[in-house]
Chain A
Amino acid sequence: MKTVPNAKIGFSKAMQAGWIVMDKKAEGGPKVNKKADKIEDVIQKNLVKLQQDQTDSLTDEQKAEYKKRKLITEVKITSYEITKGDNFSLTIENQNGSWKTKNFKEYNFDALGIPPNGGHLHPLLKVRAAYRQIFLEMGFTEMPTNNFVESCFWNFDALFQPQQHPARDAHDTFFVSEPQVSDIKRVPPDYLQRVKRVHAEGGYGSQGYKVEWKTEEAEKNILRTHTTAVSARMLYKLAQQETFTPVKYFSIDRVFRNETTDATHLAEFHQIEGVVADYGLTLGNLMGIIEEFFKKLNITKLRFKPTYNPYTEPSMELFSYHEGLKKWVEIGNSGIFRPEMLLPMGLPEGVSVIAWGLSLERPTMIKYKIDDIRTLIGPKVDLQMVYDNPICRVEKH
């Protein structure tokens, strides 16, 4: 009884059908004996019939019992027979005139339609694409700015930014602990010496900073504080050409400042930068190209204010008249790179390099009326804002 599965069910069913009999008084305990000579397993036969789709040959009681015993399950299959009707046709007739007699419910034309399924581009990157387009239209070549980790040498020293400059404090700059230093030996030694000399002793017409210049400061790694570090690398490369060729470069990429974040400041943001190197470029040329650049943004009221940047001289802050605020607002910075930066690189005398820069976040925030930058970038992004954002036509205000 215990060795065969479902033996208990089989035993009770066989007893019920009178196939077997139990002798309870048998010697050595109850004993089961055969009673019927011949047995007919009706259930088995009926199940075979069902398998053969002869469903009508079973009584409803039988079906119910088998269902209860989970021997069968009931599945209803509905089928239809379709035949051609009176109006059968192989062509679509939409002008049967029925609309003439029917009443149509009025549409609510003020209701919104169903929003289309699709993805969205990020507003800041839409603006980035627009600025990129402007530079390309103006014949500027994009710089390879895909290196967030930069050595102090390229970020500061090559730009003639003194080693004691406050911008080089940990308060302002992220110092990298891994990899902590760059391989300063890969800066060509003669160039490194020229940079060292112009800082410490001067030269190229300069007084220098008259203070010891330390390689240990220059080799420290940081997260770049401006993309101008890449411009420096590019200009050095340009200076190594056999003959100088004029260039126009641009970049739009991330930079990092160790600032506490608030509604208008993040620890990382995008810098837009344009650089032109050629013989005899002047301040007037710089203002001219800046004016053309901003014309593409439909910003025509521009003013230039003297300012100080460690690596440009003259330096100019850019202001535009804000019609909404009814005042002049700062929109960027510019200048002519100092000879102390260019001449040690080996650029020919007489070549000037003019440059201007601005942030990508600020025009984006103004354009899309975003008052907290944290809803634009990072984990607190306002996705609804991203979903609803218009295309970026920078020339439209």
Chain B
Amino acid sequence: MPTIEVKKDLLFKALGREYSFEEFDELGFEFGLEAEEPEEEEILQNPDLANVWKIEIPANRYDLLCIEGMSRALLVFLEKKQCPRYKTVKPQKLQQMKILPATKQVRPLGVAAVLRNIKFTPDSYKSFIELQDKLHHNLCRRRTLVAIGTHDLDTIQGPFIYDAKPPADIKFKPLSQAKEFTAPEMMEMYSLDSHLKPYLPIIRDSPVYPVIYDRNNVVLSMPPIINGDHSKITLDTRNVFIESTATDLNKAKIVLDTIVTMFSEYCDQPFTVEPVEVTHSDGSVHLYPELPYRYEEVDVDDVNKNISADTMSNLLTKMCLKSEVLPGGVKIKVEIPPTRHDVIHPCDVIEDVAIAYGYNKIIKKIPATSTIADQFPVNKLTDLLRQEVACAGFTEVLTFALCSRDDVALKMRKNIKEANAVHIANPKTLEFQNMPLPLKLFEISDVMFCDKTKDVGARNERRLCAVNYNKSSGFEVMKGLLDRVMQLLEVPIVQSEHGYYIKSCKDATYFEGRCAEIIYNNSVIGKIGVLHPEVLKEFELTNPCSCMEFSIEPFL
């Protein structure tokens, strides 16, 4: 879940009153936010933090990712404010952005909008930048799906062109740099920049790079990497041109809607946005932002059978969802504003009714569902055997299912290819350590194998594994445990069907002449033996060790 940092004094000013942490935490709990105070140690290191709360936001509520949106939503929730109406207001002459077909090769989509006559304060300016960062990181999936660029409209002149050009043909002065660079030079330079480095692979290998410029060939940005310095916004910027380029048009629209609905608050005419005419590469022309108000019809009975339709409608108002009970009283028509792109189904509306009502006021009732329980057979057998093996003097351990390639093969004197093991593409390294003597350990867990007969190409197998690590190898101790387990499973020691026995075999993991296959019902189910001295050495074990491992699935 994303977290935003808010200054307490700004928050209190926005909410119109002061809150103790406990009070705000309580309010957040009801609404679905999680607040966190800075630790005393953190404040000692940085006294400014005393004024900061960290607030965790539900991952689909992009409208709460800045203090503007969060305080607006809370005020509406507290019924201290009405949800604003967001409008586009067409100017006499529309700003235009034309997307050229070359962008199809790299980043084909784009939308844009203008915030007119805005007034930033240092705090709101900071919040504006931070919201873009939060959106980039979350909804835009680290700029791969959508990238945002904001520009001082008074420094540039439309119509704007969104094109894609060979990297060497792109040259401009990027943000915060003193001179012009070509695109390849910038890619080289930013490969050392920890902030921008992660975004470079998004376009690096493309034959053309995205670039937006104005009628005078002034470069606005090279999305999704960097904006131009020429059009950078400042505290004094009054008119903001916002472009957002994308591979996912729906998300680009959500991003644009979110930014303009949040920051149009600071325009001379609050909550109004100037649309931009965007010509897509297929020639179609659209006005953005769309700021859609759409409708959902919700069955009153689906929401709740205990509260009235009118109550529901009132509750929805607290969640910025305007609604009306339709004639007949069985349906409610709900208006979904452009800030609530998270609402995609009537069930999302139902949740909002529940939140506004208060989760903790809902009457709890045990479901009447009557069912007979069943255990999963292999788990049932596992639990029975665990008890008995522990009774036999062995201590249960729990190891990772994930282990290194070396541990599973090389150190066991095996070739990884023969292991038939499942491989992870992106492993994290794990450290291993020795344990003190004497040890009699066991575990009954799943191992993973490649198995082409399964839909995913792999399967688990439940295995019993035991080791005896002592001054002498103690093969007889292992064999004793095997005999005991077989006794418990009512399997006689005979060389025939339904019986078990062990038969000498060769296995590189075990000491020669000290390894046997465990055979049950005429098939090999596992191995028992004394570990090879080289295996012991690889695992830095100084004493001999006998062990066994076999599948318990044949005994189901």
Binding site for B on A (CB under 8 A): 117-122, 124-125, 129, 132, 135-136, 138-151, 164, 166, 169-170, 174-183, 186-187, 202, 204-211, 221, 223, 246-248, 254, 256, 258-261, 266-268, 276, 278, 281-285, 287-289, 291-292, 303-308, 310, 313-316, 319, 328, 336, 338-340, 354, 376-381, 383, 386-387
Contacts and interface: CB of A to CB of B under 8 A. Distances in A.
Please report whether the interface of chain B is mostly helix, strand, loop or mixed according to DSSP. Answer: loop
A248 B371 contact: yes
22 contacts: A118-B390, A119-B394, A119-B396, A132-B379, A140-B371, A146-B446, A148-B446, A149-B458, A151-B455, A174-B424, A178-B421, A178-B450, A179-B456, A205-B345, A207-B345, A209-B344, A256-B402, A267-B430, A268-B400, A283-B362, A306-B32, A313-B351
Nearest to A315: B351
A203 B311 CA distance: 29
B456 A182 contact: yes
Given A149-B457, A287-B364, A338-B345, A386 B450 contact: no
B192 interface: no
Contacts of B422: 148-149, 176, 178-179
Contact of A146 (B145, B359, B393, B460): B460
A208 B344 contact: yes
B436 to A, nearest CB: 7
Interface in B434-473: 435-436, 439-440, 442, 446, 448, 450, 452, 454-460, 462
A304 B396 contact: no
Given A121-B396, A122-B396, A306-B355, A140 B425 contact: no
A278 B369 contact: yes
Nearest to B426: A170
Nearest to A122: B396
B257 to A, nearest CB: 14
A303 B387 CA distance: 37
B346 A120 contact: no
A315 B460 CA distance: 32
Contacts of B249: 210
Interface stretch (B9-17, B38-46, B57-65, B486-494): B57-65
B159 to A, nearest CB: 28
B546 to A, nearest CB: 16
Contacts of A149: 422, 448, 456-459
A274 B399 CA distance: 25
B423 A119 contact: no
A211 B250 contact: yes
A234 B345 CA distance: 24
B133 interface: no
Contacts, number: 281
Given A121-B387, A292-B366, A178 B423 contact: yes
Contacts of B410: none
A136 B344 contact: no
A318 to B, nearest CB: 11
Nearest to B367: A285
Contacts of A283: 354, 359, 362
Contacts of B456: 147, 149-151, 179, 182-183, 221
A148 B424 CA distance: 12
Contacts of B462: 146
A184 to B, nearest CB: 8
Nearest to A138: B373
A175 B424 contact: yes
A164 B430 CA distance: 29
The 4 closest A-B pairs by CB, nearest first: A179-B457, A306-B32, A308-B58, A314-B351
Interface in B218-263: 248-251
B141 A164 contact: yes
B361 to A, nearest CB: 10
B418 interface: no
B373 A136 contact: yes
B426 A175 contact: yes
B248 A377 contact: no
Interface string B332-375: 00000000001011111011001100011011111111111111
A376 B399 CA distance: 9
A206 B459 contact: no
Given A118-B391, A256-B402, A377-B398, A177 B360 contact: no
A353 B372 CA distance: 18
B189 interface: no
Contact of A276 (B59, B250, B363, B367): B367
> Which of A256, A258, A291, A379 counts the most B-chain CB atoms under 10 A from its CB?
A379
B178 interface: no
Given A142-B376, A211-B251, A248-B373, 20 more contacts: A119-B395, A147-B458, A147-B459, A148-B458, A166-B138, A174-B425, A182-B456, A182-B457, A210-B249, A211-B248, A221-B457, A256-B402, A285-B366, A305-B29, A313-B350, A313-B351, A336-B347, A340-B345, A383-B436, A383-B439
A336 B348 CA distance: 11
Given A149-B457, A207-B344, A287-B362, A141 B374 contact: yes
Given A178-B423, A256-B402, A209 B250 contact: yes
B375 A136 contact: yes
B413 interface: no
B432 A379 contact: yes
A307 B371 contact: no
B320 interface: no
A40 B395 CA distance: 71
Contact of B425 (A148, A170, A210): A170
Contacts of B427: 174
B396 A379 contact: no
Contacts of A340: 345
Contacts of A292: 366
Contact of A139 (B345, B359, B371, B433): B371
Contacts of A124: 398
Nearest to B1: A308
B358 to A, nearest CB: 9
A146 B378 contact: yes
B386 interface: yes
A247 B399 CA distance: 33
Contact of A120 (B360, B395, B430): B395
A371 to B, nearest CB: 17
B365 A119 contact: no
Contacts of A181: 457
Given A125-B386, A175-B424, A284-B364, A306 B359 contact: yes
A354 B392 CA distance: 42
A121 B388 CA distance: 10
A243 to B, nearest CB: 15
A221 B71 CA distance: 42
B445 to A, nearest CB: 9
B425 A176 contact: yes
Given A177-B424, A338-B347, A378 B457 contact: no
Contact of B250 (A204, A205, A210, A282): A210
Contact of B395 (A143, A205, A291, A383): A383
A285 B432 CA distance: 46
Nearest to B456: A182
Interface string B126-168: 0000000000001001000100000000000000000000000
B347 A339 contact: yes
Contacts of A186: 455
B400 A378 contact: yes
A265 to B, nearest CB: 11
A55 to B, nearest CB: 39
Contacts of B125: none
